[in-house]
Chains A and B, each alone.
Chain A
Amino acid sequence: MDVNKNFLVGVFEDEDVLLAAVKKVRSGGVKIHEVYSPFPVHGLDEALGYKRTRLPIAAFLFGLTGTTLALTMQIWMLGYDWPMIIGGKNFVSLPPFIPVTFEMTVLLSALGMVATFMIVSDMKPYGSPRQFDLRSTEDKHVMAIDTDANGGKSKDEISRLLKEAGASEVNTKSFE
C-alpha cells in the first residue's frame, strides 16, 4: 500500500479546553481518530464515546490457560512421567500443586495482558507507532483527525472547527 494516511493534528494547551473541544468536534460531525495527552484526563473516555476495554476478558482467558497448563504439567510430570514419593504423599495430590498453579495463573494472566495491550496499542516489536506530535509526551494535548475517514468535510472545514474549539495550532501529518 503506497497510499498515504493523512491526518489533521490539533494541539491544545489545557485539558478543560481539550475536553470541551472533543465534545464540540464530535457534535460537529467529525470523527476523531485518537487523542494523546501527557497525563490522564478525567472524563475523556466518555467524551470520546469509547467503549470499556475488553482487556479483563483477555486476562481471564490467559489466567485460565495458566491454571490448566500448570495442573496438566504437574499431574503429568509427577504422576506419570517421573513419579516420585515426596513427603509420603500420593503422586497426584492437589494441595502441593496449588502454589504452582496459582503462580502460573498470575504469570500468564499478567504477561498475556501486557502482550495484548502492546499489540492492540500498536506498540508491538518491529511495529511503527504513529507519533502525531512529540509534545504530547510533555505539555500538550494532541487531537488527531483522520481526514480520509471524514470524506464529507474538507480539510479547511475541520481545521476551522479545531481552531474554533480552542486549538492553539493545527498541523497536517501524513504516514505511509
Chain B
Amino acid sequence: MAHLQVADEQYIFRPETRNKLFILLGVGVALFVLGLILAMRSGGHHEEAGHGEGHGMIKTENLVASTEKAAAGDQEEHHAAAAEAGEGHHTKGWKERLFSSLWMNNVFFTGLGIIGLFFVAIQYAAQAGWSAGVLRVPLAMGNWIPIAGILMIVLYFTTGHDIFHWTHHDLYDANSAEYDPLINKKAPFFFWPGHAGGFPIFYIFRMVLFFSMWYWFFTMIKKNMLAEDLENSTSYWYKNRVISTWFLIFFAVSSSIAAWDWVMSIDTHWFSTMFGWYVFASWWVTGLATITLICAFLKDAGYLKVVNSNHLHDLGKFVFAFSIFWTYIWFGQFLLIYYANIPEETVYFIERMTTSPYSWIFYATLILNFVLPFLLLMTRDAKRQLSTLKLVCPIVIVGHWFDFFQMVTPGVMQQNGGLGFLEIGLALVFLAVFLLVALSNLAKVPLVGKNHPMLQESLNHHI
C-alpha cells in the first residue's frame, strides 16, 4: 500500500453559509409565528372539528374509555362521562400543540447530537480504519448535546402537565376522582425516592445524569482527538478506544431509558418492550443520514479531499442497512401488538392509523423510511454517488422527523393534533440552529485528524 501524504484541511464557516442558515432560521421563525397565530385563532374551531372526525376517533375514544374504566374500577361513571364529552382529560389547544412540537423537535435533534458521539465511539471501539477521514463531522454534531440537555430540562419544567399525563398528582391519590391504579403502580419509576405525585426526583435525576454523562464522554473523546493533532502518538487512539467502550455500555442502557422517559411515558398507560430500540433505531439512521449529507455538502464545497467514493459507499451502506433495521424494529413492534390484539396495546396504533392527521403520516413514514431508501440505495452505484446520497438522505431525515411526530403528538394532542406551519417552522428553526452550532464547531478544529493512526488505512480504503 502506498503511503499517501495528507494536506492539512480546515473548514471555513463562510459568512455566505452563515447567512443562508440565518435565512433558513428567519423562514422558520416566520412560518412558526404564522402557524402559531393560525393555531390560536382556530383553537375553538379545531376542537369542534375534532368531534366530527368520524368513526376512527370514536373508536379510539371507546378504547381509551374502556381501558380507563377497567383501570379506574369504582370510578367508572366519571370516566364514561369524560369519554362521552369527547375529551380524555383536558381540552387541547394551541398551547399543547406548541409544547408538543417543541418537545418532539428537541427529542429528535437530541438524537442527532448523541448519534454524532455514538458514531465516533463505534468507530473507535470497532477499531475501524475506513472512517478516520470523516470522524470530525459526527464529532461536530456532538456539540449539540449540552444545548439539547439544557433545552430538555427547561422544556420539561415549562411544559410538564401539558405533555406528561403522569405528572398530575391526582392520579396517585386514592381518594381522588382521577385516581389511576395502573399509573400509580408506575409511580416509583418517576418519583422515587419522593412521594408519588410530587417532584419527579428519579425522572429528573436520570435526565441530568444522561446528558451530563454523554457530555462528559463527548468532551473526553474530543479532547483526545484534538491532542492527537498536536502530538503524533497512538496513545490517544488507545485512550479513546477505552472511553468509547465505556460510553457504548452506558449508551446501551441510557438510550433505552431515555426513550421510555422522554417519549413512551407520554402515553402513560401504554408500553412496548421494544420502544427503546425503536427510538434508538430512528435516531441512529437519522444521524447516519445527517453525517452522510454533511459530508456530501463538504465534498461539493471542495472540502474533505480524503473522502472518496469508497467512503461514501460505506456511509451509504450504513444508511441503507439501518433503514432496513428501523423497519425491522417497527414491524417487530407492530406485528406483536396487531396479533395479540389487547385493547390497551392496540389503542396506540388505532389512534395513529385511523385518526386525522396521523393516518396519512403513518403510511408515509413507511414509504419514506423504508421503501424509498431501500429501492433508491440498493445498487452499488447509487451509494457511491453524491447525487443519489443527496436525494435519499433528506428523505430519510424528513421521514424520521415524521416518525418522531407520530411518537409524540398523538399522545399529547389526541385527535386535536395538527401538522402545519407551526410544526414545519419550528423544525426549520431547530435545523438552522443545529447546523449553526455543528458547522461553527466544525470550523474550530482541523477537518481531518492528520495523526489518526488509521488515516493511511482510510486513504487506501478500497471496496
Chain A interface residues toward B at CB < 8 A: 42, 52, 56, 60, 87-89, 95-96, 98-99
| Contact between A88 and B341, CB atoms less than 8 A apart | yes
Residues in A with CB closer than 8 Å to B331 are: 95, 98
CA distance A56 to B378 in the complex (A): 9
Residues in B with CB closer than 8 Å to A96 are: 335, 339
CA distance A52 to B463 in the complex (A): 12
How near does chain B come to A112, taking the closest CB pair, in angstroms?
16
Contact of A95 among B338, B378, B379, B462 (CB under 8 A): B338
Across chains A and B, the number of contacting residue pairs, with CB separation under 8 Å, is: 19
Residues in B with CB closer than 8 Å to A95 are: 331, 334-335, 338-339
Tell me, yes or no, whether B14 is within 8 Å of chain A by CB. Answer: no
CA distance A95 to B379 in the complex (A): 27
Tell me, yes or no, whether B380 is within 8 Å of chain A by CB. Answer: yes
Main secondary structure of the interface of A (DSSP, over half): helix
Give the 8 A-B CB pairs with smallest separation, nearest first. A95-B338, A95-B335, A87-B339, A98-B331, A87-B341, A96-B339, A88-B341, A95-B334
Known A42-B462, A87-B341, A88-B341: A56·B335 in contact at CB below 8 Å? no
- Interface flags, B327-339, vs A, CB<8A=1, else 0: 0000100110011
| Contact between B380 and A56, CB atoms less than 8 A apart | yes
The chain B residue with its CB closest to the CB of A43 is: B462
| Contact between B341 and A56, CB atoms less than 8 A apart | no
Residues in B with CB closer than 8 Å to A98 are: 331, 335
The chain A residue with its CB closest to the CB of B335 is: A95
Contact of B379 among A56, A87, A89 (CB under 8 A): A56
Chain B interface residues toward A at CB < 8 A: 331, 334-335, 338-339, 341, 378-380, 462
How near does chain A come to B374, taking the closest CB pair, in angstroms?
11
CA distance A62 to B355 in the complex (A): 39
The chain A residue with its CB closest to the CB of B332 is: A99
CA distance A42 to B462 in the complex (A): 9
| Contact between A60 and B378, CB atoms less than 8 A apart | yes
CA distance A99 to B331 in the complex (A): 10
The chain A residue with its CB closest to the CB of B379 is: A56
The chain B residue with its CB closest to the CB of A98 is: B331
CA distance A20 to B341 in the complex (A): 67
Residues in B with CB closer than 8 Å to A88 are: 341
How near does chain B come to A23, taking the closest CB pair, in angstroms?
16
Can you give 19 contacting A-B residue pairs, CB < 8 Å? A42-B462, A52-B380, A56-B379, A56-B380, A60-B378, A87-B339, A87-B341, A88-B341, A89-B339, A95-B331, A95-B334, A95-B335, A95-B338, A95-B339, A96-B335, A96-B339, A98-B331, A98-B335, A99-B335
The chain B residue with its CB closest to the CB of A46 is: B462
Residues in B with CB closer than 8 Å to A42 are: 462
Given contacts A95-B339, A98-B331, A99-B335, 10 further A-B contacts (CB under 8 A): A42-B462, A56-B379, A56-B380, A60-B378, A88-B341, A89-B339, A95-B331, A95-B334, A95-B335, A95-B338
CA distance A156 to B334 in the complex (A): 71
Residues in A with CB closer than 8 Å to B462 are: 42
Residues in B with CB closer than 8 Å to A60 are: 378
How near does chain A come to B310, taking the closest CB pair, in angstroms?
13
The chain A residue with its CB closest to the CB of B328 is: A102
Residues in A with CB closer than 8 Å to B341 are: 87-88
How near does chain B come to A107, taking the closest CB pair, in angstroms?
17
CA distance A35 to B227 in the complex (A): 47
CA distance A89 to B341 in the complex (A): 10
CA distance A56 to B334 in the complex (A): 31
